[in-house]
């Protein structure tokens, strides 16, 4: 099976130069070198779309690939899911080696740990809010307000904006009930 070696270089500011990164990537005989300078990283997104199982992505350092630890972990997980190998020159990280595979497992463990912490903090926050009398979730809407809103809508005399203002029902709720009512009428 044929695979490609993609080099990826990125600078964070206009004042930085890509030259040093490009020189290092050239040594890896990359099939293609992708460079990025924009904060939304369209070149990285295009690269991610091109990647196929067996391909290799080479970066000068992890700091050039991910903008944060979470971002880096997400990218490493993305590469693993696509069966794309990753090499970071500065960190001497290579997922084609047993040590690199071990580090990949460590990254995934940290990623799962972070997700678990977020879930735990969210649950504790909800319990704390409920203890202070805050409920959370969607506000309840009375059947009377829903009926009024639907009747105003059916009259075709008012815009959605006007109906929302008159009834206090959110635009999303109104559309949900319009859709639900239309489905019932068609059945």
Helices (H), 31-97: 42-50, 62-65, 69-81
Cβ(124)–Cβ(132) below 8 Å: no
69 vs 177: CA distance, rounded Å: 43
The yes-or-no answer on residue 12 being catalytic is yes
State the residue for tokens 């009512």: 181
- Return the axis-axis angle of helices 160-167 and 171-186, rounded to nearest 10°: 110
The residue annotated as part of the active site, out of 12, 105, 128, 170, is 12
Rg (C-alpha) for the chain, rounded Å, is 26
Question: What is the DSSP-derived secondary structure letter of residue 14?
Answer: T
Residues involved in catalysis: 12
């Amino acid at each position: 099976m044929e695979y490609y070696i993609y080099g990826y270089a990125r600078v964070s500011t206009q004042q930085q130069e890509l030259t040093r990164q490009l020189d290092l990537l050239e040594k890896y005989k990359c099939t293609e070198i992708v460079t990025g300078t924009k904060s939304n990283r369209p070149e990285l997104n295009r690269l991610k779309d091109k990647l196929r199982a067996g391909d290799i992505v080479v970066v000068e350092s992890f700091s050039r690939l991910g903008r944060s630890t979470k971002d880096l972990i997400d990218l490493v997980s993305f590469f693993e899911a696509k069966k794309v190998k990753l090499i970071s020159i500065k960190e001497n990280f290579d997922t084609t080696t047993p040590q690199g595979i071990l580090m990949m497992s460590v990254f995934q463990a940290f990623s799962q740990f972070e997700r678990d912490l977020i879930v735990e903090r969210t649950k504790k926050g909800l319990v704390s809010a409920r203890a202070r009398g805050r409920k959370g979730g969607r506000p309840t809407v009375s059947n009377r307000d829903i009926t009024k809103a639907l009747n105003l809508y059916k009259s075709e005399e008012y815009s959605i904006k006007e109906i929302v203002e008159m009834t206090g029902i959110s635009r999303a709720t109104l559309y949900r009930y319009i859709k639900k009512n239309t489905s019932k009428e068609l059945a």
